[in-house]
Structure 1
Amino acid sequence: MTSPTSSAVADALRRRIRPDLVRSGSTEVRLYRRDASNMQGDAGVVVFAESTADVQAAVQVANEFGVPFLARGSGTGLAGGAVPPDGAIVISTTKMNAVVSVDAVNRQAWVEPGVLNLDLSRQIAHLGVHFAPDPSSQQTCSIGGNVANNSGGPHCLADGVTSAHILALEVVLPDGSITTLGGEDPEPDGLDLRGAFVGSEGMFGVATKICVRLMQNHPDVATMLMEFDSVAEGAQLVSDIIADGIVPAAVEMMDQLCLVAVEKWLHAGLPIHAAAALLIECVGPEAQVAAEVERIRELAEARQVANVRIAGDDVERELLWKGRKGAFGAVAQIKPNYYLHDTVVPRARLAEVIEKVYEITSRHGIDVINVFHAGDGNLHPLLVYDAREPGMVEKVHEAGREIVGFSVAVGGVLSGEHGIGLEKRDLMPLMFSEIDLAAQEALRLAFDPKLLANPNKVLPNPATCGDLHAVPEGAWI
């Protein structure tokens, strides 16, 4: 049996979906060959879905022709999760961007998957509530993408990642049927299939409506910036704070190269002379925040921290956070390309792992920027490089594999919030046994027995991974 042509699939889609929402031109389709990772594929056709019915029709056509499909939000994923298999139907959810309803009393809202993370919080700010997960790509990533990757962000230390903030999902399953997982009640009956779906990276179907939990805005906030002579000293203070019983809303660390890059761009008065800086935020009632700030000051003094800066107003606070969340973009001040991992390691091993990251990158002749969620040990080493330099891409990928391997060896995990996707798929055996992987495969087959929903992602399968490839060495990543 020959594979169906993209034109035949596109014609079938246009009979089911408004024709102008189906794009199959080579230039248009080429725009959807990749996400924010350094891998790419070749989509067959792109559908700009406007409704659950459009998504259902696209999935039904995929089943009719036996071609793969995947949902795509803003394309900000860094692990290749939204890279299309050859000939796939890409279902873009960017037009499904409505906030359907908001219940301020019960603090929940139904939204479509294309709603941008920060837009949601802005639209409901007047109600005194917000959506807690806040990835660095908050201004551009979608709620659907947050669900797919179980995204986190700086404030997930206290508030938890996306799975803690999703109550229910309307889903088009891989066979084209529609169902609801979870519910608005605190404890819906039956298996927690909502929990299985969140973080499934598109392998279990497409979320078309999402019921999110909303958090009350905090009455008071204090943002502190501290500088250190070494990353290890900063890590030690983080351990002191947590051991003292304080769980700040966020604890972020930036090393010197990161501080320099951000300061060149932002001019926020960051301590570029320091080896590292901690950005710590405390939230809650005014008295509680004041007590936590004072205690953190005491712990910092005990560690002989030279300088503790507290944002004087919202403007200064927002400037500091703009620097932290804009760190990835600021790397262009150093090199045009970067390769990013997000392993998680035990907080007690944090300094050791960071030193190993410096050793690995130095040995390969690669610059590295370390900016990460220090509170929960979620590392984000950015290997910055110029892809036009001969052999550099290979060096970067080898260094990345070493970093992941060492992180897992000290008791860490492969990913904290970026997902497995293609990037770490073949590294899964580092963390999971054959029995573990077989159990995960069985769950996937329960949702998608035909393996049409975003195939060849997450679970290693060497026999089917030939249709996706790394960007050529000279490409601009």
Structure 2
Amino acid sequence: MYDSERLLTRPAQLMAYESDALTAFQQRPAAVVIPQDRAEVIETLRLCHEHNVPFVARGSGTSLSGGSLPIADGIVIALNRLDRILRLDAEERIAVVEPGVINLKVSDAAKPYGLYYAPDPSSQSICTIGGNVAFNSGGAHCLKYGMTSNHVLGMTVALPDGEVVELGGESLEGFGPDLPGFFVGSEGLFGVALEITLRLLPIPQTYRTVLAAYDSLHAAGDAVTAVVASGLLPGAIEIMDALAIKAAEVGAKAGYPKVPALLIVELEGEESAVEAEFAQLMQLIEETSPLEVRMAQTADERARIWKGRKAAFSAVGRLAPDYIVQDGVVPRSRLGDALAEIDRLSASYGIEVANVFHAGDGNLHPLILFDGREEGALERAEELAGEILELCVDLGGSITGEHGVGMEKRAFLPKMYGPLEMQAMEDVRRSVDSRSLANRGKMLPAGEAESLSHVGPHPLEKAGVIFRE
């Protein structure tokens, strides 16, 4: 079924697939297969089911929670060649895409029709729609437009045994359980999406983007509270601290001021409405005593502001050899408390933490900097990350907003849910995948099967499906 270019088994070939963006976890799979159409995906799942071999579906490998980490002696199904936009219907405002389509390319294809795809993760130029579906990705503009789940109308899905089912359709109107919503955010536990029907939106007529500088994170947080309490619903509200600002300047040369905290607020929509909201926004910001306020006067200036924000994650890598990014959520009213405690924990551990986050919905993204070459550094960074997650839950929030549980946060799920809820999740998973073959060992901390450990040939070698050195 697969030629030598699409069936990777040599150690040198497999190295590129040993981890995703969370490089602290690494595992070499038995093989990587690169299907070129849905039929090959379905047949691969059937073979894995027949021979009891676990598998992981992978897009661009941008998961920050170890969600696409391979399984020992398992198979990685790399979906990058399933990258076609199958249909774009401007009248119905939908796009039907394969899972390997890059997020930003959907908007690029829809732009000539005055449409775009709203979810905009920081990695949107490289992450895939399939991965966005698996982890219910959001982005800077999720405050106004919601997460991936708000923009998926339907899917064609291959279940873990290879059976193909249709979930949802091409309309927001429907009846019965929300089956697309059941699949979106399931982190690959329920199978592989083969086709995804996305909702497109009209490109906003105008934008107003404001950059405000503050003398502290607390002051920037107070400004967020004031904006939200006013009734305004910006497209995005973001905060960056001094360390994140430094990283963005190194990585993107955004021209940010050197201050303790920056607030980015963007209004978008019809011109008359946006101009009225803009006047209200500027009055609110002035009342919060900013050090400086800048307004993007051109599309290029707006793009520059956002380039710095979206570059912050990757640019932090220039400040330290390694980092862990967390994804906890707290109520907006507790942002100040959360940031103050993160600052205290950072000082206590002697580990620098950069903060850049979706302030409008309280989705924190603390970036914990360390040097993995130093003995015990990773363990201390993980310990600090764990304390931050527990802090978020204690403040009434969640351990994840959009990066998912993956491998990284499994142990913290019982912090949020009791035994009955945990068992219910496991029961649902087993009802779809009784053998736990799909993305085994991810998300759920209990009841998972052990990784395969074979003496002698791999089951797929015996079946003549793969050949390993």
| TM range, smaller chain | over 0.9
Return the letter of the residue paired with 1:102: L
Q: Distance between the aligned counterparts of 1:443 and 1:314, measured in 2?
A: 47
* SS of equivalent residue, structure 1 residue 40: coil
* Structure 1 residue 333: Cα displacement: 3.1
2:156 to 162, 170, 175: 170
> Who is 1:416 aligned against?
401
* 251-260 or 186-195, which deviates more: 186-195
1:260 to 246, 251, 255: 246
Q: Distance between the aligned counterparts of 2:106 and 2:118, measured in 1?
A: 10
1:336 to 321, 332, 337: 321
Return the letter of the residue paired with 1:87: D
2:8 to 23, 43, 67: 23
* Structure 1 residue 261: Cα displacement: 2.1
> Who is 2:40 aligned against?
54
* 306-315 or 327-336, which deviates more: 327-336
Return the letter of the residue paired with 1:187: E
* Structure 1 residue 88: Cα displacement: 1.0
2:177 to 191, 203, 213: 191
Q: 1:110 to 1:368 in 2, by over 3 A?
A: same
Matched, 1:89 2:55: no
Q: 1:463 to 1:187 in 2, by over 3 A?
A: closer
Residue deviations 1:279-328, cap 9 Å, x none?
A: 11000111111111111111112222232110110111101100000001
1:139 to 122, 125, 128: 125
> Who is 1:453 aligned against?
438
Q: Distance between the aligned counterparts of 2:318 and 2:8, measured in 1?
A: 36
> Who is 1:246 aligned against?
232
* 444-453 or 205-214, which deviates more: 444-453
Q: Distance between the aligned counterparts of 2:290 and 2:6, measured in 1?
A: 57
* Structure 1 residue 268: Cα displacement: 2.6
> Who is 1:128 aligned against?
114
Return the letter of the residue paired with 2:277: E
Matched, 1:406 2:406: no
Q: Distance between the aligned counterparts of 1:154 and 1:33, measured in 2?
A: 29
Matched, 1:211 2:197: yes
1:387 to 372, 385, 389: 372
* SS of equivalent residue, structure 2 residue 57: strand
Return the letter of the residue paired with 2:248: V
Q: Distance between the aligned counterparts of 2:174 and 2:53, measured in 1?
A: 34
Residue deviations 1:137-171, cap 9 Å, x none?
A: 01100000000000000000000000000011111
Return the letter of the residue paired with 2:227: I
Q: Distance between the aligned counterparts of 1:40 and 1:161, measured in 2?
A: 29
* 374-383 or 190-199, which deviates more: 190-199
Return the letter of the residue paired with 1:118: L
Q: Distance between the aligned counterparts of 2:3 and 2:250, measured in 1?
A: 48
1:221 to 207, 216, 224: 207
2:341 to 356, 361, 364: 356
Describe how 1:276-295 pairs up with structure 2 within 5 A.
Answer: 276-295=261-280
* Structure 1 residue 463: Cα displacement: 6.6
Matched, 1:105 2:118: no
Contact 1:268 1:323 in 2 (8 A): yes
> Who is 1:75 aligned against?
61
Q: Distance between the aligned counterparts of 1:358 and 1:464, measured in 2?
A: 39
TM-score, scaled to structure 2: 0.94
Return the letter of the residue paired with 2:139: G
Matched, 1:396 2:381: yes
* Structure 1 residue 33: Cα displacement: 1.4
Contact 1:297 1:308 in 2 (8 A): no
* SS of equivalent residue, structure 2 residue 31: strand
Would you say how many aligned residue pairs link Structure 1 and Structure 2? 452
Q: Distance between the aligned counterparts of 1:444 and 1:256, measured in 2?
A: 42
* SS of equivalent residue, structure 1 residue 43: coil
Return the letter of the residue paired with 1:360: L
Contact 1:264 1:333 in 2 (8 A): yes
> Who is 1:234 aligned against?
220
Matched, 1:438 2:423: yes
Q: Distance between the aligned counterparts of 1:96 and 1:328, measured in 2?
A: 27
Q: Distance between the aligned counterparts of 2:161 and 2:318, measured in 1?
A: 47
* Structure 1 residue 22: Cα displacement: 1.7
Residue deviations 1:388-444, cap 9 Å, x none?
A: 122211110110010001110010101000000010011100001111111111111
Return the letter of the residue paired with 2:383: E
* Structure 1 residue 108: Cα displacement: 0.3
Q: Distance between the aligned counterparts of 2:137 and 2:2, measured in 1?
A: 31
Contact 2:253 2:308 in 1 (8 A): no
Q: Distance between the aligned counterparts of 1:465 and 1:449, measured in 2?
A: 14
Matched residues, percent identical? 42
Q: Distance between the aligned counterparts of 1:146 and 1:270, measured in 2?
A: 30
Return the letter of the residue paired with 1:111: V
Structure 2 stretches lacking a partner, 5+ long:
454-469
Matched, 1:370 2:355: yes
Q: Distance between the aligned counterparts of 1:466 and 1:114, measured in 2?
A: 27
Contact 2:154 2:197 in 1 (8 A): yes
> Who is 1:297 aligned against?
282
* SS of equivalent residue, structure 2 residue 61: coil
* Structure 1 residue 204: Cα displacement: 0.1
* SS of equivalent residue, structure 1 residue 253: strand
Q: 1:205 to 1:463 in 2, by over 3 A?
A: closer
> Who is 1:319 aligned against?
304
TM-score, scaled to structure 1: 0.92
Q: Distance between the aligned counterparts of 1:268 and 1:19, measured in 2?
A: 44
Contact 2:73 2:452 in 1 (8 A): no
> Who is 1:475 aligned against?
none
Q: Distance between the aligned counterparts of 1:342 and 1:149, measured in 2?
A: 12
Contact 2:72 2:451 in 1 (8 A): no
Contact 1:58 1:89 in 2 (8 A): no
Contact 2:215 2:261 in 1 (8 A): yes
> Who is 1:269 aligned against?
255
Structure 1 stretches lacking a partner, 5+ long:
1-15, 469-477
Contact 1:41 1:467 in 2 (8 A): no
Q: Distance between the aligned counterparts of 2:416 and 2:310, measured in 1?
A: 29
Runs of at least 4 residues of structure 1 off by over 4 A? Answer: 462-468
> Who is 1:34 aligned against?
19
Return the letter of the residue paired with 2:276: A
* SS of equivalent residue, structure 1 residue 383: strand
* Structure 1 residue 329: Cα displacement: 1.8
* Structure 1 residue 18: Cα displacement: 4.8
